[in-house]
Structure 1
Amino acid sequence: MATRNGFKSIACANGLARVLASLTTVAWLAACSTPEPEIPDTPVEILYNNAKDSLQTGEPAKAAKLFDEVERQHPYSKWATQAQLMSAYSYYLVDKYDDAIPALERFIELHPGNRSAAYAYYLRALCYYEQIEDVTRDQGNTEQAQRALSDVVARFPNTPYSRDATVKLDLVRDHLAGKEMDVGRYYQTRGQYLAAINRFKTVVDKFQTTSHVPEALERLTESYVALGVFSEAQKATAVLGYNYPGTEWYQDAYALLMSKGLTPEGSEAEPPIALVDPDQIKGTEPAPALEPAVAAPPSDIAPAPDAVPVDPVTGMPLPTQQPAAPPPPADEGPLLSTGSSDQLMNHPEGESSDGDQVLIPTGEDGTPAPQ
């Protein structure tokens, strides 16, 4: 029993020690989490000026609390409306976007017609814009920034806020296109070409003004060629060549199509001309010459005689007609003379023409003899 009582006393002592340790920890945590003292009620002018002074002296965190106190202590004063916007701006300066965005949302909802509403929309867009992550991270804030910036441009088109929002909006879209390209390249390197095509087509369709479109078209060509869909590959390369003819992306896409025997115009490429090296054909044997045709040997059979004409009534052969004798030579006419042409043609009958006559010597048979 003594031993048991000893064990009991030891157990009680250990339990008491644990309770004391836990109480000490709770007290220490309570001391560390002691809330800051509340700001006593202060006239609105003094409280607002104190918050403004804190902001100007480089204490935006303190200024934000003072501006919130203005709204809490004097919710119906004319200073409360401005204090809401100034509080959001102070939180923005210290990168407390989770506090700034709800304050701006409340200001826009309660005071849509305020003259500072344009700035409230713009500051809300900046809060999302400043939280844009790298393309390898989630782009939820980037999409929020795109919607907020588009809202500024649509609602306040002729303000300085709209001009700056337009510039930032182009950067946001380029960033979103970069995210799509990063995911598309991931799928492409792993052979998941359909998923990659969907990402690249999103860039071409929704982000046409960004700098990622040429690469997206070239990678569409690569993916379609890998799948064997050559008609779509030709279309993508044609669009790339029309809009970005001098880029390296078009050169790569064109070379890829040519390697497959295709052109961007939708036709097959012309086959290359084969150049024959004379040195490669020196050792080849010439083609054998054709042997001349051998004449047929003479036949022992005599050719058939010519047909003999017969009388169709009696059937007797008709006498063959001898060829007609040539006509006698015509009279050579008068001898040539050296008279004029008129005298030769017009002299009276029976009279010889003037001038000496030139006689052409003839042979014994009457034919002209050679000179």
Structure 2
Amino acid sequence: MRGFRLSVASPCVLAIAAVLSACSTKPVDETAGWSPNRIYSEASDERAAGNYDKAVTLLEKLEGRAAGTPLAQQAQIDKAYTHYKAGEQAQALATLDRFQKLHPTSPAMDYALYLKGLVSFNDNLGLFGSLARQDLSERDQKAAKESFESFRELVTRFPDSRYSPDARLRMTYIVNSLAQYEVHVARYYHSRGAYVAAINRAQSALTDYTDAPALEEALFIMIQSYDALGMTQLRDDARRVMQASYPQSEYLSKGFKSGGSPWWKVW
């Protein structure tokens, strides 16, 4: 019977021991006695040191402790920026969306929109991942367009914001990049003999974008594609438009360009 009683009691003893052990190892909140300003300062230091996860944790604590104050709003914005620095695009955008819903009249709204544009902005858009070495028929430009919309909202709502001049530059850059993308695709189709597809993509660039550097090549691709298809009247019409729009164009005398300095190196 003694052995039986021990075998019954053992699980209980072990369970109590496990609970006591868990209690003894409960993590201590080192920020318990910190002021909100100290938490913010420590979070900034952690981010500067590249410790993004720890910085986010501190900023989340600050959001709770400083709820209803401007510092809580700052913590949200800083958390979004920290996610951005860590390369966590989805988390950054989610944080900014939440900020916009909770604080629609915040004095930091212009910066929130600017940061939202930056999160989706890719300053390698002009390269598009070395398009000439890839199949260009399918590429998603959703992020570039979302970036443009955020910048556009910023310059529309806050034209005098300190962030608006840079946003305008980036908007121009995005438009030029998207036009260049369409032309790269058109050139890709042309090089493979898909002349109708090349004409369609070049026409899309001409219709959707204005004053973009890539439009000169778009017209030349249309001329070349119409010529290959034996559509001489449309070829000549396109040539007249190109001569009127780009009277000094080297495309008509030298053909497609290779090398040289890319237009998209803005900064």
Q: What TM-score range do you get, normalising by the shorter chain?
A: 0.7 to 0.9
What is residue 249 of structure 1 aligned with on the other side?
251
Q: Secondary structure at the match of 2:213?
A: coil
Report the CA distance between 1:243 and its aligned residue.
1.5
CA offsets, 1:70-123, max 9 Å, x none? 113443344211110111122222222222111111112221211111011001
Match of 1:199 in 2: 201
Q: What TM-score, normalized to structure 2? A: 0.72
Distance (Å, rounded) in 2 between the aligned partners of 1:170 and 1:193: 29
Match of 1:153 in 2: 155
Is 1:100 the counterpart of 2:92? The answer is yes
The letter of the residue matching 1:138 is: D
C-alpha distance in 1 between matches for 2:253 and 2:225? 16
- Aligned positions of 1:289-328 closer than 5 A: none
Matched residue of 1:160: which SS?
A: coil
1:51 and 2:51 are equivalent in the alignment = no
Distance in 1 between the 2:38 and 2:218 partners? 59
Q: Determine helix, strand or coil for the equivalent of 1:158.
A: coil
Q: Flag the structure with higher helix content.
A: 2
Following superposition, the deviation at residue 40 of structure 1 comes to 5.6
TM-score when normalising by structure 1:
0.53
RMSD: 2.6
Among 78, 87, 100, the residue aligned to 1:86: 78
2:83–2:91: 8 Å Cα contact kept in structure 1?
A: yes
Between Structure 1 and Structure 2, how many residues are aligned? 219
1:227 aligns with 2:229: yes
The answer for the alignment partner of 1:173 in structure 2 is 175
Tell me if the contact between 1:118 and 1:161 (Cα under 8 Å) persists in the aligned partners.
yes
Instruction: Give yes or no for contact 2:122–2:144 (8 Å, CA) kept in 1.
Output: no
Shift of 1:219: 0.9
Instruction: Using the TM superposition, name which of 80-89 and 152-161 deviates more.
Output: 152-161
Give 1:87's aligned amino acid: K
Q: Give unmatched runs, 5+ long, in structure 2.
A: 1-26, 256-267
Specify the code of the residue in structure 1 equivalent to 2:225: S
Q: 1:32-43 to 2 correspondence within 5 Å? A: 41-42=32-33, 43=35
Cα distance in 2 for residues equivalent to 1:156 and 1:120: 12
Amino acid at match of 1:165: A
CA distance in 2, matches of 1:55, 1:210: 39
* Percent of residue pairs bearing the same amino acid type: 30
Q: Are residue 115 (structure 1) and residue 107 (structure 2) matched?
A: yes
Distance 1:38 1:235, change over 3 A: farther
CA contact (8 A) 1:218 1:252 kept: no
Match of 1:129 among 106, 121, 124: 121
